[in-house]
Structure formats: structure tokens, C-alpha cells
């Protein structure tokens, strides 16, 4: 896809939603970090349902440590992979208290030292909490990037590198959110709703469908 089309896509997405934000519930950077850890292979809706109750009783590293792994599980058991996530959350809280004076690291390399924090999670935290123009490639971003043709790739690393290269700097801060929203509500996995897509005229996937019909 040429540069002009990429610009047109993000101009359109920006016009429709100038200041997109994450749909995860949180009040502090720490709570955002925990919510993103819990959101791996889970929906934001399920995570919000759990954390809304959890944060009322344990919204800091110390309180979650005091809660303990088994009690934590009772709050997040409706979320996929809750056993391993509970273990990682406790370990992360202990590291934050013991090694980082309760401060969330502001660089990807340090963030990824925390249990349960991979590159995508780190990118999401850096973007939402610290305003860095990072792009977390989840299943929605991966699908939309391939379908639109703005960053085709066989794995998330390839897609992220191409997005970093192809998206103009002025759009990078919000690109992650625009692509997630597009994938979550319009460019869905099984039956993409092309009829209501604002960027369908620039889409490689739609062109392929038309050719196949």
C-alpha cells in the first residue's frame, strides 16, 4: 500500500475519533498495568468486570500482595488463564514494591522484566500511561493491519515493525487504538462489516472479496 493511502486511512480514522482511549477500566498507572496483564487472551469487558470489584478492595501493589494468590484468583476466575495470571500479578506486585519503589517503569525493556509483561503489554502501557507512540499488536491490530494492507505480516513482530515504518509520526500515538476499535467493532474476524467501515475504499481485503465474487 502506498503512502498516500496509509495517510488517507489514518486521516479518516482520526476524523471519526480524534482522541481514542483504552476501554480498560483503571484509575492509576499500576491498575492499568494489571488490567493489561489480565487482558491477554481475554476481552476488555471481562477484565473490567473483574477489576471493578478487585480494585475496590485491592488497588495497589501492597494490597494485592496482602490479598494473596488464592484470594486474587477468586476475583479474576472469570478471565481466561486466571491461574497463571494470578501468579504473575502477585510476582509483579512484589517486584514493583521491592525493586522499583512502586513506580511503573517507563521503558519497554524494564517493563518486560515484570512477570506476565510481554512486548504487546509493555507497548500498551507505554502508550496509555506515558503517551509514547508505541503500537501494541493484539489479535485485532494484527487482523486489521493485514486486511487493510498497511502492514501485512505472518506474525506480530513483522506487523509491528511494518506499522512503525509505514504509519506517519503524527498518527502513531493513537494508531493502536484506532486499529483496535476498527477490528473490535467493524472489521471483525468472521464476518467483517464492510458496509459500515469508514476506510473500506482503501482496503485490500475488500478488493480481494470483490474480485472473488
Q: Which of 3, 138, 172, 212 is catalytic?
A: 138
State yes or no: is 113 an active-site residue: no
Cα–Cα separations (whole angstroms), residue 122 to 10, 77, 126, 151, 172: 23, 23, 6, 20, 16
Cβ-Cβ contacts under 8 Å for 63 (sequence gap 6 or more): 57
CA–CA gap between residue 123 and residue 125 (Å, rounded): 5
Q: Which of 44, 73, 113, 120 is catalytic?
A: 120
Cβ 176 vs Cβ 136: under 8 Å? yes
Q: What angle do CA 138, 90, 109 make, to 5 degrees?
A: 50
State yes or no: is 120 an active-site residue: yes
Residue 102, phi-psi category: left (phi > 0), alpha (psi -120 to 50), beta (remainder): left
CA–CA gap between residue 197 and residue 199 (Å, rounded): 6
Of the chain, the end-to-end C-alpha distance in Å amounts to: 22
Q: Which residues are catalytic?
A: 120, 138
Amino acid at each position: 500500500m502506498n503512502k498516500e493511502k496509509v495517510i488517507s486511512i489514518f486521516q479518516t480514522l482520526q476524523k471519526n475519533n480524534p482522541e481514542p482511549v483504552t476501554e480498560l477500566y483503571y484509575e492509576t498507572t499500576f491498575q492499568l498495568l494489571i488490567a493489561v496483564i489480565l487482558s491477554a487472551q481475554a476481552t476488555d469487558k471481562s477484565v473490567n468486570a473483574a477489576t471493578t470489584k478487585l480494585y475496590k478492595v485491592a488497588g495497589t501493589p501492597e494490597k494485592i500482595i496482602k490479598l494473596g494468590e488464592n484470594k486474587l484468583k477468586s476475583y479474576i476466575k472469570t478471565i481466561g488463564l486466571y491461574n497463571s495470571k494470578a501468579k504473575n500479578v502477585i510476582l509483579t506486585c512484589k517486584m514493583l514494591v521491592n525493586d522499583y519503589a512502586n513506580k511503573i517503569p517507563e521503558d519497554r525493556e524494564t517493563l518486560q522484566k515484570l512477570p506476565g509483561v510481554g512486548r504487546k503489554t509493555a507497548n500498551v502501557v507505554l502508550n496509555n500511561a506515558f503517551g509514547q507512540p508505541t503500537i501494541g499488536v493484539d489479535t485485532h491490530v494484527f487482523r486489521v493491519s493485514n486486511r487493510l494492507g498497511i502492514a501485512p505480516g505472518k506474525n506480530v513482530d513483522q506487523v509491528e515493525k511494518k506499522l512503525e515504518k509505514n504509519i506517519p509520526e503524527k498518527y502513531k500515538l493513537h494508531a493502536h487504538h484506532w486499529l483496535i476499535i476498527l477490528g473490535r467493532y467493524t472489521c471483525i474476524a468472521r464476518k467483517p462489516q464492510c458496509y459500515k467501515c469508514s476506510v473500506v475504499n482503501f482496503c485490500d481485503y475488500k478488493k480481494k472479496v470483490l474480485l472473488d465474487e
